[in-house]
């Protein structure tokens, strides 16, 4: 019986080629759209999942119009983090993250006044002390509360050390 249903279905598909093409094309387009929507949502929901309370972490984006086009830049001016911290209600912590992507700083390590090591680093960020109140990392050594409160201090990864 089932074999007969399959035969009849194929006969109708061959008989009505244009309708079959439209139906298969629509089904294909629907499946592709569903997959793309799923991937976009998965991408958007994948950020900062390893931090505590990822649903409470937000990023400031600056919107500008240049030559008639909308352009979005990350962050804002230097005093923005302090202004948000002091003037916006409901904000527990705010931090400034500055990545200078155009320059590679030269990091020098001195011991008793003698230069021990000098290297260029391209993957770095300047942050204020509130950074580690927002983002959580596993610490091998040191304390996140006091890690960058003093000038000329740095936090490095295990691979960099």
Q: What is the pLDDT of residue 39?
A: 97
Structure tokens at 161: 């050390």
**For position 103, what pLDDT does the model report?**
65
Report field, pTM of the whole predicted structure over 0.95: no
Domain ranges of the chain: 2-44, 54-134
* Separation between Cα atoms, residue 99 and residue 107, nearest integer Å: 15
Neighbouring C-beta atoms of residue 107, cutoff 10 Å: 14
Tens digits of pLDDT across the chain (161 residues): 888 988 888 888 888 889 989 999 999 999 999 999 999 999 988 877 788 888 888 888 888 898 989 988 887 788 888 888 889 888 888 888 877 666 666 777 777 777 777 777 777 778 888 888 888 888 888 777 777 887 777 787 777 66
Q: What is the pLDDT of residue 102?
A: 61
Distance (Å, whole) CA 111 – CA 118: 12
Query: Do 62 and 73 form a contact (C-beta atoms < 8 A)?
Result: yes
């Amino acid at each position: 019986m089932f074999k007969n249903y399959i035969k009849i279905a194929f006969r109708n598909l061959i008989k009505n080629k244009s309708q079959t093409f439209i139906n298969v094309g629509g089904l294909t387009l629907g499946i592709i759209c569903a997959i793309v929507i799923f991937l976009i949502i998965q991408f958007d929901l994948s950020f900062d999942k390893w931090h505590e309370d990822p649903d409470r972490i937000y990023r400031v984006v600056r919107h500008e119009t240049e030559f008639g086009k909308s352009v979005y830049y990350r962050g804002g001016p230097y005093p923005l983090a302090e202004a948000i911290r002091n003037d916006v209600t409901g904000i527990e912590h705010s931090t400034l993250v500055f990545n200078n992507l155009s320059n590679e700083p030269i990091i020098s390590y001195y011991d008793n006044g003698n230069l021990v090591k000098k290297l260029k680093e391209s993957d770095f960020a300047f942050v204020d002390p509130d950074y580690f109140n927002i983002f959580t990392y596993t610490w091998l050594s040191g304390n996140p509360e006091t890690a960058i409160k003093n000038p000329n201090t740095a936090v490095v990864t295990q691979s960099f050390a």
